[in-house]
Amino acid sequence: MNGWQRPLLALLVGAVALAGCDRTPQPPVSPAAKAAAAQASAAAPPEPDPAPTPAPKPGISPPPDQAAPEALAGLTYPPQDECTAKPGWPAFRKSLGNAIRARDAEALVALAAPDIMLDYGGGSGIAELKRRLADPANGLWQELAAILPLGCAVEGGLAAMPWVFWNVPETVDSYHAMLVLGDATPLRKSPGGKVISPVGWFLVGIDPMAFDRTKPETQVTLDNGQKGWVETARLRSLLDYRLIAEPADGTWRITAFIAGD
């Protein structure tokens, strides 16, 4: 090594030693110092909130949801069963239901009185009942099935199905009135139009001269004078088929299955 290099090397070694002294670990921060730093951070002004959502322009707010139609006040005539407690009725009712569901004419005839009344023109008897049941054009099986879920009423020791037959108010003209079937059958403002209210089991008035069973909807009038339209298939005439039965020898016999007045 040249002589002039030795002083330079000593100078470099001294610089490195001084740099190593600068890396000495710092003493730990005291708890008081940490608390002071936290207070300073809390005192800092908060960051601004994001820009608010613009308010809707006047006149462009979405329309409110359509409110559900309110139920109209009035008397209803849902099916009831006054016959179950009568001696022999549960067994008779079960046999009747089985015969109708099976379309079993012999089983049905076994439940009928020999002189069962079938119309107001003299039609009666077991043989005539068999003949009418066998003719699909009469639709008697469908008529029998239709009355099964409509309840049963008792009056003067006799039973009548449907229940409503003996529970129509005397002020109601049965020629101009119908029972609306179903719990939630709607009354509409126009055919297929907006629902005014459910009118299930209401008695409603119709125009018998204009009534057409083949039309999908029929205009009706409620007791309060309000008019509307109801599905025709949901209307049942108060003079439609009914089954009358009376007790005999511990059981019941069908004494009439008839429509009209």
CATH number of 79-168+240-261: 3.10.450
In the predicted structure, residue 87 carries a pLDDT above the cut 60: yes
- pTM of structure: 0.72
Residue ranges of the chain assigned to CATH 3.10.450: 79-168+240-261
The DSSP bridge pattern shows strands 153-155 and 112-117 to be unpaired
Confidence of residue 68 (pLDDT cuts 50, 70, 90): low
CATH number of 171-237: 2.30.30.40
Confidence of residue 131 (pLDDT cuts 50, 70, 90): very high
Task: Confirm if 109 and 129 have CB atoms less than 8 A apart.
Answer: yes
How many angstroms separate the CA atoms of 185 and 168, rounded? Answer: 20
Average pLDDT over residues 166-177: 94
Which has the higher per-residue pLDDT, 240 or 31?
A: 240
- Return the pLDDT at 61: 39
Give the lowest-confidence range in 56-60, 136-140, 201-205, 256-260. 56-60
Task: Confirm if 97 and 152 have CB atoms less than 8 A apart.
Answer: no
